[in-house]
Amino acid sequence: MYQVVMLNDDFTPMEFVIMVLQEFFSKDQEQATQIMLKIHLDGRGICGVYSRDVAATKVEQVLDAAQQAGHPLQATSEPIE
């Protein structure tokens, strides 16, 4: 299994991060806000845990949405040890 991790930057609006979490990770407003705050405060936050292929797709979706919106938001997937 792989965890999808979103990384903090100083440019992407918090509202955009919340929208991405709701749209691509099926988080409700409260969950999305909590994860966004963790990303903001700790520099990274786990968005979800998936199989390798699903995690890779989620990362692609986040990167594509960020690029289209002109934000430098980054995400990656990491194996769970």
Domain locations in the chain? 2-79
pLDDT mean over 10-21: 97
Total residues belonging to the chain: 81
- pLDDT tens digits, 22-71: 999 999 999 999 999 999 999 999 999 999 999 999 999 999 999 999 99
- Per-residue pLDDT band at 7 (split at 50, 70, 90): very high
Query: For residues 52 and 57, what is the distance between their CA atoms, to the nearest angstrom?
Result: 9
Whole-structure pTM value:
0.95
What are 66's two structure tokens? 């960020």
Which CATH code for domain 2-79? 3.30.1390.10
